């Protein structure tokens, strides 16, 4: 019989995984992220999935959720396509590197690295303000966007997140993009990144496709609802809520990893 953590999710976890998808979809719609910051801990804590496999499964589930969220943002003309293009060029390349690293990186590095990304992004959001729009893109800015995309792709492939936690603050701080435009643009970049990373993770057997489909489908309707809510939130409130969520998730990851390491510590 196949193990739930190696081949597919058992029936006892089905309802939990559907709830993870619904919550991730709402998160994606409201904050413009793929939902991986919630999917990964959800699969690890509640579905009892292996950490590495949870990261790969999360990235696969991010794809349909991000597509649903993007539709809402695009309908409101909240996507900066030129910026998305340069970010995506770097992100796809970075995703290839990140999925390669996923095969060898240790469990604790994955957990603590993920938590660190969340904390850094949260700090930037607490102190950043949304701009009124960007100037014309220069060559130097395009190169910088590609570099940001590479970093985003590595995080996506390695940590199972879409990369919005990095791209959104970067676009707001560097380009002065309004919060809602940065979120919509982030979703446009997440889609090719998720496709690239998932294909590589699939070949390395780091994806539970059944769980990814359940999470992804569960998040589609809630993602559309989240996008509707986002269009009605003020930038300051949206930033504060998003940053607070990142801190809570990061704290939970650190606590969980500390407990895991403590339980394995030899008795003196």
pTM of the model: 0.73
In this model, does residue 11 exceed pLDDT 70?
Answer: no
Q: Rounded distance, CA 235 to CA 181, Å?
A: 11
Band (pLDDT 50/70/90 cuts) for residue 175 is confident
In the prediction, which pLDDT does 132 show? Answer: 66
Q: Is the predicted pLDDT of residue 10 greater than 70, yes or no? A: no
Asked if 167 and 66 count as a contact pair (C-beta separation under 8 A), the reply is no
pLDDT of res. 129 = 57
Region 23-37 average pLDDT: 78
Quick: pLDDT tens for 186-233: 989 989 988 988 888 888 788 898 899 999 888 888 888 887 887 788
What interhelical angle do 51-75 and 36-45 show, nearest 10? Answer: 150
If you average pLDDT over residues 43-65, what whole number do you get? Answer: 84
pLDDT of residue 151: 83
Q: Report whether pLDDT(258) > 60.
A: yes
Q: Measuring CA to CA, which residue among 152, 194, 175, 200 is closest to residue 65?
A: 194
28 phi and psi angles, rounded to 5 deg: -60, -45
Split at pLDDT 50, 70, 90, the class of 8 is low
Q: How confident is the model at residue 80 (pLDDT cuts 50, 70, 90)?
A: very high
Q: Is the pLDDT of residue 46 over 50?
A: yes
Q: What is the DSSP string of 144-157?
A: HHHHHHHHHHHHHH
Q: Residue 254 class from Cβ within 10 Å (0-12 exposed, 13-18 middle, 19+ buried)?
A: middle
Q: How confident is the model at residue 13 (pLDDT cuts 50, 70, 90)?
A: confident
Secondary structure of the chain: what % helix, strand, coil (to 5)? Answer: 80, 0, 20
Of the candidates 18, 33, 12, 2, which has an alpha carbon nearest to the alpha carbon of residue 211? Answer: 18
What is the C-alpha to C-alpha distance for residues 132 and 139, in angstroms, rounded to an integer? Answer: 21
């Amino acid at each position: 019989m196949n193990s739930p953590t190696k081949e597919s999710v058992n029936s006892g976890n089905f309802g939990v995984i559907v709830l993870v998808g619904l919550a991730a979809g709402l998160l994606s719609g409201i904050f413009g992220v793929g939902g991986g910051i919630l999917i990964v801990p959800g699969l690890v804590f509640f579905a009892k999935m292996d950490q590495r496999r949870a990261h790969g499964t999360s990235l696969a589930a991010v794809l349909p959720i991000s597509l649903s969220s993007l539709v809402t943002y695009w309908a409101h003309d909240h996507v900066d396509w030129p910026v998305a293009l340069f970010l995506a060029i770097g992100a796809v390349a970075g995703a290839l590197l990140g999925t390669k690293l996923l095969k060898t990186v240790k469990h604790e590095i994955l957990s603590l690295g993920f938590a660190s990304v969340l904390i850094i992004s949260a700090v930037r959001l607490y102190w950043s303000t949304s701009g009124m729009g960007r100037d014309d893109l220069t060559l130097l800015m395009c190169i910088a966007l590609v570099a940001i995309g590479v970093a985003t792709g590595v995080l996506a492939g390695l940590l199972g997140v879409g990369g919005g936690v990095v791209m959104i603050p970067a676009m707001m701080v560097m380009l002065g993009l309004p919060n809602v435009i940065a979120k919509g643009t982030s979703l446009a970049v997440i889609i090719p990144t998720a496709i690239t990373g998932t294909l590589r993770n699939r070949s390395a057997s780091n994806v539970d496709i059944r769980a990814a489909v359940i999470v992804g489908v569960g998040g589609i309707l809630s993602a559309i609802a989240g996008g509707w809510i986002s269009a009605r939130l003020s930038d300051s409130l949206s930033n504060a809520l998003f940053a607070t969520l990142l801190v809570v998730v990061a704290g939970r990851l650190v606590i969980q990893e500390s407990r895991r390491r403590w339980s394995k510590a030899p008795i003196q």
